[in-house]
Chain A
Amino acid sequence: MSAISIQSVSKRFPNGFEALKGIDTEIQSGSFTVVLGPSGAGKSTLLRLLNGLETPTAGAVHIGGEIVDAHRLRHIRAQVAMVFQQFNLVDRLSVVTNVLTGRLAHRSWVGSVFYLFRTEDMAVAQEALARVGLTDKAWSRADKLSGGQQQRVGIARALAQRPKVILADEPVASLDPVSSEEIMGLLREICDRDGITVVVNLHQVELARRFADRIIGMNSGRVVFDGPPAELSAQALRTIYQREGMEHDNSLDLALAYA
Chain B
Amino acid sequence: MSDVYVMGIDMIKFGRFPDRTVPQLGATAALMALDDAGLTIQDMQALYCGNLGQASAMVGQRILQEIGQTGIGVVNCANACATGATAFREAWMSIKAGVNDVVLAVGVEQMGKGLLGGGGGGTGISKEGLLGSGTMPAVFAEAGMEHSRHYGTTFEQFAKVSVKNHHHSTLNPKAMYQIETPLETVMNAEMISYPNTKLMCSVNVDGAAAAVLVSEKKARELGMSRAVRVKASILTSDPYSDRDLVMPDVNAVTRRAAKEAYEMAGIGPDDISLVELHDCFATAEILHYENLGLCKDGDAGRMIDEGEVALGGRIPVNVSGGLLSKGHPLGATGIANIYEVSTHLRGEADKRQVAGARFGMTHVIGLGSACGIHILEKVA
Chain B associates with chain A: no
Chain B residues in contact with chain A, CB under 8 A? Answer: none
Partner-B contacts on A (CB < 8 A): none
